[in-house]
A and B are shown apart, each in its own frame.
Chain A
Amino acid sequence: MAVLLLAEHDNATLNDATAKTVTAAAQMGGDIHVLCAGSDCGAVAAEAAKLSGVTKVLCAKDPAYGHDLAEPLADLIVSLAGDYDHIVASATTSGKNVMPRVAALLDCMVISDISGVHSADTFERPIYAGNAMATVQSTDAKKIITVRGASFDVAAMDGSAAVEEIGAVANPGLSEWVEDKVVESNRPELTSAKIVISGGRGMGSAENFELVDKVADKLGAAVGASRAAVDSGYAPNDYQVGQTGKVVAPELYIAVGISGAIQHLAGMKDSKVIVAINKDEEAPIFQVADYGLVADLFDALPKLESAL
């Protein structure tokens, strides 16, 4: 019994999501081996070796693995699959891209976005935008899984696993990376931040979104957005919280000018404390809020910034 766990990283640092996935993997039973695949991921492998419960780190360095392209990465994982009963990754865009491909190549179903582990073959996962929780039992020989980070705590960094360099497998040559369009930010990452403040369509414009940014900077918070705010160009796509965006569960989530559609709630309703600021007292967001403030955001946000 062993688990192969795909590390999520940018060749420089290990993503928090991996430490959360390790916690889920530990509940599946057996040794945990972490696979670090990247163009130059030695430092990341060394970091992964410290994750509590990890017994071995496999490090595959090759330019083909530099940009999370699904086709070469899936082939590498499949080449290692023989030794494992579970193959898991974080339910990040990268994990969601590659794991169903791995599953199909192994003639297995993928068990996407699990929020709980009941036993080695039985898992809980949200369906219908989190309006129902399904418990599913897999009859596949290998369980191919992606893990919802918001549902698991980060594993401690008290381990000291051995790092083993492994070779690359033949690149299928099916895809070519062109460019990444990434906005650099000094704010914490949305999915690991302790406080998240999100703006919705009520913000009215990209310029007005700065009102949210200013409060975020006071709080050391990450900034999120509703789909409507992203679609309208007020915020970049990677800010989207919800059923089809990011799932967050911070200590404090502040929703500003967001109505509270189920698709948005799907991404934030497991936050510890929820604050809603909306000028419409009937807005559904108030039904999930611990603290609701009926107010015009253009009045409330500057006040909030100065009160902090």
Chain B
Amino acid sequence: MKVLVPVKRVIDYNVKVRVKADQSGVDLANVKMSMNPFDEIAVEQAIRLKEAGQVTEIVVVSIGVEKSQETLRNALAMGADRAILVKAVDNVEDDVEPLTVAKILKGIVDEEQPGLVIMGKQAIDNDMNATGQMLSALMGWSQGTFASGLELTDGSATVTREVDGGLQVIKIPTPCVLTVDLRLNEPRYASLPNIMKAKKKPLEVKEPGDYGASVEKRLTIVKVEEPPARKAGVMVGSVEELVEKLKTEAGVL
């Protein structure tokens, strides 16, 4: 079975985000960019399935700027077999909306016919948590979202999902779309020899039009602002002082 894993190049999760003075967005010039952490977990899961003999080929896809090639090479170095870059925008600050991404992915899925799509539950930049569900809808497939456990048997996936009340286990037929949560696995680091080898793995460059899609915007950014700052607090010297202040000053006890 072939697995498709979409990966997104995003601001590194350790970088302090700066809002631009003109309120047009967040400053992404010269900041460290990395693979979306949830997507690393998705790539790792695909590799583990391949190592377990349940998957034969891992295709990784990124939709965004030219530089997303770096993210794809990183996935290839982790262990993916081949990559597709869909050059959808020129400016890194033009985020491609989940609906557009899902439409392009649908074109790729129609062409590649994977038995499974594994992706991150959320991108840590726009925090939308939407693309996987949208792709699943466009394909008319089942969705197994927020997965922290996965078992594949012939023709179906048993997915343990992290939900507000605890865990939910569902069984869905394949092909399907899975979106992964933090606790599914711990992604590996690419080794130096594998980074070298990844440079020779195939990477195709495509355009949205190749999949009959165009980059549309349904949401216009009116402005992006800093969140309101909290006022400075005080340090207390003891538990007794803390309780006293919470009772009399803050009035919350």
Contact = CB atoms under 8 A, between A and B. Distances in A.
B143 A289 contact: no
A174 B121 CA distance: 20
Given A126-B127, A288-B230, A109 B168 contact: no
Contact of B246 (A108, A230, A252): A252
Interface stretch (B55-63, B73-81, B110-118, B215-223): B215-223
Interface stretch (A20-28, A161-169, A199-207, A238-246): A238-246
A172 B176 CA distance: 14
B129 interface: yes
A139 interface: yes
A102 B223 CA distance: 27
B165 A182 contact: yes
Contacts of A97: 133, 143, 145-146
- Ranked nearest first, the 9 interchain pairs of A and B with the lowest CB-CB distance are A100-B133, A100-B130, A104-B134, A104-B137, A109-B218, A131-B17, A181-B167, A178-B169, A290-B233
Contacts of A74: 137
Contacts, number: 254
Given A128-B26, A178-B170, A238 B163 contact: yes
A273 B250 contact: yes
Interface of B: 11, 13, 16-17, 19, 26, 38, 97-99, 102, 121-122, 124-138, 140-143, 145-146, 148, 158, 160-173, 181-183, 217-227, 230-231, 233-240, 242-243, 245-246, 250, 252-253
A181 B19 CA distance: 41
Instruction: Tell me what chain B mostly uses at the interface: helix, strand, loop, or mixed.
Output: mixed
Interface stretch (A37-45, A56-64, A65-73): A65-73
Given A101-B134, A112-B127, A180 B145 contact: no
A69 B171 CA distance: 11
Contacts of B97: 109
B170 A69 contact: yes
B16 to A, nearest CB: 8
B94 to A, nearest CB: 14
